[in-house]
Amino acid sequence: VTPVSSALSHLECSKCGDVAQADVIQQLCACGAPLLARYDLQKAAATLTIAELARRPWSLWRYAELLPIRDLSRHTVSLGEIVTPIVPLPEIGRDYGIGDLRCKDDGLLPTGSFKARGAAVGVSRALELGVKAFAMPTNGNAGGAWAMYGRRAGIGAHVVVPRDAPAIHRYEMESAGAIVTLVDGVIADAAKVVVQLVNETGIYDASTLKEPYRIEGKKTMGFEIAEQYDWQMPDVILYPTGGGVGLIGIYKGLLELQAIGFPVDRLPRMVAVQAAGCAPIVRAFDAGLRESLFWKDSKTAAFGINVPKALGDFLVLDAVYATGGCAIAVEDEAIAEARRSVAAVEGMLLSPEGAATIAAAAALRENGWLRAGDRVLTINTGNGIKSAL
C-alpha cells in the first residue's frame, strides 16, 4: 500500500500573492484577504492517481494528498463523510426542457449539510495545529457542523447566530455544548461580535475564509463531481451562494485535479444562485464588477444564503467570469415552488438553498441562457428535513 500524505506546501494570499507558512496558525493575510492552501502538485500526482483512487474508501478523505492534514492517523475528526450521491431529476428536467438535470445531495452528510465537509477538514487541521477553541458567525448549518466536529475533537466552540435563524440550528449547536450568542440582525452583525471576541480573547477565528482550511473541505465537492461524472464534466453547475466558499471550492478543486494531470475535460460554467432578497454577487455580476457591495436589509427564507457581503466575493466572481458562468437571483416564492415540485415529482425534499438552484435552472432555461442540450448539475447543500417547517 502506498503511504498517503498531504502534499500541502504553503499558504498563498488570494489577493496580493504573499506566501505564508502553513504549519502554524494563520488567519487572514496582512492585506486583509483570505489565504489559500497550495500543494506540491508533483508530489500529490505521484500517489494520487486514478488507479489508486479506485482502491480507496468512498469518503472525502480519499483525496488526502490534496487535503491539508499532515498526520491523518492522529488528527482525522470524522463523523462518516460519504461521497454524496448525484441524483437524476428526469421529470423536472422534462418540465423545464433540460435533457440532463441532476442534483448532488449534500444533505446526506453528517449534521445534514455540506458544511460537514468544511468542518471535517477545518476542525481536523485546527486540532493538528493545536487550536483549543474557536469562534465563528453562522446562519446555522456551519455552526452546527463546527460545534459537532469541534466537540468530537475536544475543541470549544463559540458560535454567534442571528436571532431569527431556525431553532433547529440553535438546538444542534447547544446539544454539542457550544456557547451560543444570539444577535439581532443578519450574519454581518454576528460577524462584528466575533471580530470583537477575537480581538479581546485571541480565540481562533473560524469565520468563513478567515482560516484557510474550511474551503479545503468544501473543494472535495469538486473532486467528487469530477470523479462521479467520469471526468466528462457537466456543462453547468448551479450553486446556492452565500459566503460562496462552496463555489470557490469546487472551482479550486477542479483546477487542482487538472494540475495533477487528471482528465477533467473542461470547467463547467459556474453559476452563483442567490435569493432576490440578498443578491450582492448578482448585482456585481450584472454590473460587470469584480467585487460586491454590502446588501442592506437582506431578507430571505433561504437562510443559508443570507450573506450581505462575502469576504470572498471577488473569488466567486473570478470563478464565474473565468468559466463563462453567470449569477442569478430567484424570488422566495420561486424557491418554495421549486421545493414543492421536486418533492412532489421526484420524491426528494431539498433545503430551501438547494431548491433555489432548481428555481434558477428553470429561470435560466426560460431566458435561454441554458440550452436544451446542457448537462446541468444543481447542488442540494442541506437536508430538506432540517428546514421542514
Ligand X SMILES: Cc1ncc(COP(=O)(O)O)c(C=O)c1O
* Contact residues for ligand X, defined by CB under 6 A: 113, 139, 141-142, 208, 240-246, 304-305, 351, 353, 381-382
Buried/exposed code over 290-325 (b: 16+ C-beta within 10 A; e: otherwise)? eebeebeebebbbbbbbbbbbbbbbbbbbbbeebeb
Which CB sits closer to ligand X, 253 or 382? 382
Interface with Zn ion includes 13 (CB under 5 A)?
Answer: yes
Taking alpha carbons only, the member of 40, 4, 5, 8 closest to residue 26 is 8
Which residues does residue 160 pair with via DSSP β-bridges, in sequence order?
Answer: 137, 181
29 contact, one of ligand X, Zn ion, none, CB 5-8 Å limit per kind: Zn ion
Which CB sits closer to Zn ion, 28 or 180? 28
31 contact, one of ligand X, Zn ion, none, CB 5-8 Å limit per kind: Zn ion
300 contact, one of ligand X, Zn ion, none, CB 5-8 Å limit per kind: none
Within residues 64-83, the interface with Zn ion by CB under 5 A covers none
Interface with Zn ion includes 29 (CB under 5 A)?
Answer: yes
Within residues 78-117, the interface with Zn ion by CB under 5 A covers none
Residue 154, Cβ neighbours under 10 Å: how many? 10
- Judged by CB under 5 A, which stretch of 23-31, 132-140, 147-155, 225-233 contacts Zn ion? 23-31
Smallest gap from residue 272 Cβ to Zn ion (A): 23
CA-to-CA distance for 287 and 186, rounded, in angstroms? 25
Smallest gap from residue 196 Cβ to ligand X (A): 21
Residue 38 phi, psi (nearest 5): -120, 150
Residue 58, Cβ neighbours under 10 Å: how many? 13
113 contact, one of Zn ion, ligand X, none, CB 5-8 Å limit per kind: ligand X
Which residues does residue 236 pair with via DSSP β-bridges, in sequence order?
Answer: 269, 376
CA-to-CA distance for 307 and 188, rounded, in angstroms? 7
| Residue 181 grid cell | 450568542
Which CB sits closer to Zn ion, 248 or 361? 248
Interface with Zn ion includes 33 (CB under 5 A)?
Answer: yes
Using CB under 5 A as the binding criterion, the count of chain residues that bind Zn ion stands at 7
- Judged by CB under 5 A, which stretch of 21-29, 71-79, 133-141, 333-341 contacts Zn ion? 21-29
Taking alpha carbons only, the member of 56, 60, 67 closest to residue 81 is 60
- Judged by CB under 5 A, which stretch of 15-23, 185-193, 194-202, 312-320 contacts Zn ion? 15-23
Taking alpha carbons only, the member of 144, 96, 168, 119 closest to residue 357 is 96
Do the Cβ atoms of 231 and 254 come closer than 8 Å? Answer: no
Which CB sits closer to ligand X, 125 or 386? 386
Smallest gap from residue 20 Cβ to Zn ion (A): 9
264 contact, one of Zn ion, ligand X, none, CB 5-8 Å limit per kind: none
CA-to-CA distance for 380 and 89, rounded, in angstroms? 12
Size of the chain, expressed as the number of residues it contains: 389
Smallest gap from residue 1 Cβ to ligand X (A): 34
By CB under 5 A, name the binding residues for Zn ion. 13, 15-16, 18, 29, 31, 33
